[in-house]
Structure 1
Amino acid sequence: MMSSGSASSAEGYDESEKKMDYADKVVFVTGAAQGMGKAICQRFAALGAKVVAADIKAEAAAETVADLGDRGHAVACNVADAEAVRKAFADVETRFGRVDVVINAAGIGAVDSFPDVPDDNWNRVIGVNLTGTFLCCREGVRLMQKHGVKGAIINISSTGAVTGEGPVHYIATKAGVMGLTRSIAREVAASGIRVNTIVPGATNTAMLAGIPDEWMQAMIKTIPLGRVGEPDDIARVATFLASEDAVYITGQNLAVNGGMAFI
């Protein structure tokens, strides 16, 4: 009996591993030049995916996929520009014929106190973080539905959207991403498309680079797991949510924050 149980467990493990094989999948990632977006590209590539690295910094995006040969492609894309997003997805369709996974990792912030927020900063942060996510979701869904793809969309929010800690424009966009995810998930579920949000906490990206060390240490003390996140922590969850192992998960906000806030 014990032998039979062990064999069953091994078979289950092997099957799970197969579900994380992205060899025939096309993955479109925004914000691919650095940080979470770059780490997400790298992890999907390691699992065999064809990876499209999209970023306004075209040369840096190309570097992200430089070692992938025909499996890698970079597109210059300002996600806040509807026409640029449309062209980027048209390029993906021309090159690969479909898209299976869309990950919206592009994001910016600005440090402004609420009464002093300039109109330009408000519009810029909203444009990239919220409008950009909407535009890429829309084009991704259109392309998936056109080719009958039962795909996955993963958006990136922030723990600050729950706690309210952060600049008002950034927090507003990240809360908006959560609502956008829920609404799209309900509408496209019948097409077999799943839409979820990853909700990172403090993560070791360019946004943390300018924080004084004493502030950083004080923040780390509030995180039960005792460290800030790494981009690969987010990438690992992205590959899970896009996989068949997550086939019954949609419309959810999954916190990846070391326990700094429970949502």
Structure 2
Amino acid sequence: MRLAGKVALVTGAGQGMGRAIARLFAQEGAAVAAIDLNLAAAQETIAGIPAATGCSAHAVNVTDSASVREAFDALVAQHGRIDIVVANAGTGAVDSLAGTSDESWARVIGVNLTGAFHVCREAARTMTAAGVRGSIIQVSSTAALNGDGPAHYCASKAGVMGLTRSAARELAPAGIRVNTIVPGPTNTPMMQGIPDEWAQAIVKAVPLGRMGEPDEVARLALFLAGDDSSFITGQNLAVNGGLAFI
């Protein structure tokens, strides 16, 4: 029960890595707010978790700052504080650079980078107001390191890493840590949606010879959320089977 007594908010918790993180945090004793654009998916994530844990599901659009703030306010009203925030919500698209429309660029940047900013900003406001020495965890991608992906996706995930570095320096005096998980190819619905030939080529390039699993990412999130990582901030930690080095 490494997170007993903690309150956590996880975006993109309706599937994949976000679902694995939310469920592991709950197993470790945290009261988890599962945040997702799809409320039914968020509710499915916390299904089976006893109500006494204080876990809840919320429909939130991370591209809408007001929607994000409402979720934070609701959680503070319920629990009085937020200790851990995971900005995991993400999206992608299979576009060439020349074929990327303004709308596709805006959507991917809006969810992956602007959405992460909205969540990180609200976490900073909420934690500093309550005097919480919390942990903010963001999720990037190996694509930010090696450029192996569509331009908007790579750019958005590289931006998340820059956001982490800046936020970590600014929030350190308040005792708030900010770190980024950098997954490689992981067995999630997003990965399952890319063309088979792309997936096969990506897996072939991974030195460990396979995709990662959402639970493997969740275990790193648990480490960053808890006291075992108390002197770690501003870092980008990879879970990618050796595909790229930081």
Q: Which residues of 2 match residues 161-180 of structure 1 at below 5 A? A: 161-180=144-163
State whether structure 2 residue 9 is matched by structure 1 residue 28: yes
Displacement of 1:96: 1.0
**What are the superposed Cα offsets for residues 196-236 of structure 1, whole Å, 9 maximum, x if unpaired?**
00000000011221345454333222111121010111000
- Equivalent of 2:190 in 191, 207, 218: 207
State whether structure 2 residue 61 is matched by structure 1 residue 78: yes
State whether structure 2 residue 219 is matched by structure 1 residue 239: no
Distance 1:135 1:213 in 2: 33
AA aligned opposite 2:48: D
AA aligned opposite 2:19: K
SS in 2 for 1:137: helix
Q: Which residues of 2 match residues 186-225 of structure 1 at below 5 A? A: 186-225=169-208
Paired residue for 1:93? 76
AA aligned opposite 1:29: V
Displacement of 1:181: 0.2
AA aligned opposite 2:15: Q
Distance 1:37 1:208 in 2: 14
**Aligned residues between the structures:** 244
Paired residue for 1:258? 241
SS in 1 for 2:9: strand
AA aligned opposite 1:51: V
After superposition, the Cα gap between the structure-2 partners of 1:215 and 1:166, relative to the gap in structure 1 and judged at 3 Å, is closer
Deviates more, 1:236-245 or 1:209-218: 209-218
Paired residue for 1:51? 32
After superposition, the Cα gap between the structure-2 partners of 1:113 and 1:212, relative to the gap in structure 1 and judged at 3 Å, is closer
AA aligned opposite 1:208: M
AA aligned opposite 1:152: S
Paired residue for 1:128? 111
Query: Max radius of gyration: which structure?
Result: 1
SS in 2 for 1:171: helix
Distance 2:95 2:203 in 1: 23
Paired residue for 2:86? 103
SS in 1 for 2:98: helix
- Equivalent of 1:160 in 140, 143, 160: 143
Displacement of 1:28: 0.2
Paired residue for 1:41? 22
> Which runs of structure 1 show a deviation greater than 6 angstroms over 4 or more consecutive aligned residues?
none
After superposition, the Cα gap between the structure-2 partners of 1:114 and 1:217, relative to the gap in structure 1 and judged at 3 Å, is closer
| TM-score for both structures, normalised by structure 1 | 0.90
Displacement of 1:21: 1.5
SS in 2 for 1:114: coil
Distance 2:117 2:194 in 1: 30
